[in-house]
Amino acid sequence: MLGPPGAGKGTQAERLAAHHGVPKISTGDILRRAVQSGTALGGSAKQAIDSGNLVNDDAVICIVRERLSCADARSGFILDGFPRTVVQATALDAMVGTRGALIVLDIVVPEDVLVQRLASRRICGACGANATADTRQACLKCGGPLVVRTDDGAEIVRERLKVYQRQTRPLVEYYSARPTFRAIDGNQLPDAVTSGIDSAIAAAVAAGGARP
């Protein structure tokens, strides 16, 4: 699942994972938990996250390789937030090997809409879960307070979008020639985006022989 910060990758990845009965693997969630728990990985991740930069490739690749080796990911998985660089994409190709073709979905949203979304986004200050659009008082998972993410401040948002264009946007070029690549209009209501994703997956499976 590709797309800039605020494109709605997390929401759509959760829906897709639930529909297909496979795990949603979010490197952002894993790194934020590491930050909250105060691990060595969390310390280095916090510096990058708070400045709007990406965590180094080696650390993220190790996290994903370990997670994909778990039993629940053997029949499929949804990746949210990985890969974010061409180095990571190359590593993912090696990890997947003969497991089947990757379906790559790029959620496209205009920059001004992204800035608006990120400015109003909230997460749980206790467990780190994202708040839904209709839940602004407390976390639905644990009841914790909803707060602004440290990387959603105005200055950091602008820096994150610059980082995306510089480091992550080349992934579209890396994947776009594959028959299993599809771009999705993310500037719609979530249900419409979900419908577009379902249609894109069906077309990608037909074109590239990937498993849904």
List the catalytic residue out of 9, 46, 67, 182: 9
List the catalytic residue out of 32, 117, 121, 182: 121
- 118 touches 10 (CB < 8 A): no
Q: Is 121 a catalytic residue?
A: yes
- 18 touches 210 (CB < 8 A): no
Distance CA 55, CA 41 (A): 10
List the catalytic residue out of 15, 46, 67, 84: 84
Q: Is 160 a catalytic residue?
A: yes
Q: Is 182 a catalytic residue?
A: no
List the catalytic residue out of 15, 122, 149, 182: 149
Q: Which amino acid, residue 80?
A: D
Distances (CA, A) of 71 to 7, 26, 36, 181: 30, 17, 26, 26
Distance CA 174, CA 171 (A): 5
List the catalytic residue out of 15, 117, 160, 182: 160
Residues tagged active-site = 9, 84, 121, 149, 160
